[in-house]
Amino acid sequence: MPETPDLVVIREVLLRRVLGARIEAVEVLRPIVLRILEPAASAHDLLAGRTISDVLREGKFLTLALDDGGWVVLNFMLAGHLRLCAPGERRLARDYLVLQLDSAEELRYHDDKGMGKVYLTRDRSRVPAWAEMGPDVLDPGWTEAAFVQALRAYRGEIKGVLTNGRLVAGIGNAYADEILFRAGIYPFRKRTSLKPAEQVALYHAMRGVIDEAIVVLRERMGDDIHVKVRDFLQVHNKKGQPCPRCGQPIGEIKVAQRATNFCRRCQPGSLVRN
């Protein structure tokens, strides 16, 4: 799943490569991911002939603004991604949507799981989960005090709180693991058990992890917006590897098919279900 650091860099690449490009043609190869939120309209009606006037990131959504006021809103979910391709480049079996641009490039949506969604709309508030998004993780107005105050409304396990998008938008499974490791907090602790100092540490870990990852990805991804770079992360997907702090093997717990990685020594706790 692309998270904030990935999407920041993808947006920057798209601003360089497709901003101002005109969509010459649209090919819907697999319609299952497409959601047209305007009545009696087709993808061709809403996209062909339109110019990409801006590229925005909102939480885990990436949006293409069109010159007629329309939007292409992408929610990549688990395995979706975009590729910039030359028109003659071989298409892949799981390519779902192709936008042929007048810049002699194609912007293709690919999804190995078919779980992502591409919404076409003139009103982004119609997109599911859009209205429920909390402040963006990179919002400069999202201060330490505001974060700690907002946390009080939540009582569940802290990893779930970080990833549900209502407290803060843009954090997913991978970066939640990294944030909690940096803060030294066990992922399954109840929010209500966190001391004030731990809540402050969580805020600063969140800021630090996301900002530092963006720097790494700018260097490592280049213009390859389809590449997922996660090997530099400290604990996520590092089951059995030595903790970079204490050397103990990184642990893993799977809940509802989602893996959580952490260090049992640096993030002590126990999984208790009520």
What ranges do the domains of the chain cover?
Answer: 4-126, 144-262
The pLDDT of residue 99: 97
Residue 190 DSSP symbol? B
Active site residue 3: yes
Residue 43 has pLDDT above 60, yes or no: yes
Q: How far apart are CA 106 and CA 86, in angstroms?
A: 6
Name the token pair of 104: 């002699």
How do beta strands 117-121 and 34-36 pair?
A: parallel
* pLDDT at res. 204: 97
What pLDDT score was predicted for residue 78? Answer: 85
pLDDT bucket at 274, cuts 50 / 70 / 90: very low
- In 3D space, the residue among 27, 70, 34, 37 whose CA is nearest the CA of residue 51 turns out to be 70
Q: What is the pTM of this model?
A: 0.94
* Cβ(105)–Cβ(52) below 8 Å: no
11 catalytic? Reply is no
Pick the catalytic residue from 60, 108, 159, 238: 60
* Model pLDDT, residue 273: 52
Cα-Cα-Cα-Cα dihedral of 96, 1, 16, 41, to 10°?
40
Catalytic (active site) residue 57: no
8 A C-beta contact, residue 189 and residue 253: no
CATH fold of 144-262: Helicase, Ruva Protein; domain 3 (1.10.8)
Mean pLDDT value of segment 160-170 = 94
First-last CA distance in the chain? 29
Percentages (nearest 5) of helix, strand, coil residues in the chain: 30, 25, 45
Q: Is 48 helix (H, G, I), strand (E, B) or coil?
A: coil
- Structure confidence at residue 272 (pLDDT): 57
Active site residue 128: no
Residue 157: pLDDT over 80? yes
Q: In the predicted model, what is the mean pLDDT of residues 205-213?
A: 97
For the chain, the average pLDDT equals 94
Torsion of CA 143, 230, 162, 191, to 10 degrees: -100
Q: From the candidates 3, 12, 157, 178, which is the catalytic residue?
A: 3
Round to whole Å and give the CA distance between 36 and 34.
6
* pLDDT at residue 270, as a whole number: 77
The radius of gyration of the chain from alpha carbons, rounded to an integer in Å, stands at 20
Residue among 91, 230, 258, 264 flagged as catalytic: 258
The fold of the 4-126 domain, in CATH, is N-terminal domain of MutM-like DNA repair proteins (3.20.190)
Q: Which whole number is the average pLDDT over 88-94? A: 92
Whole-angstrom Cα distance, residue 15 to residue 24? 18
Helix-then-strand count for the chain, H and E = 6, 11
If 0-12 CB within 10 Å is exposed, 13-18 middle and 19+ buried, where does residue 40 land? exposed
Poorest-pLDDT segment among 42-46, 70-74, 269-273: 269-273
Q: Do domains 4-126 and 144-262 have the same CATH topology?
A: no
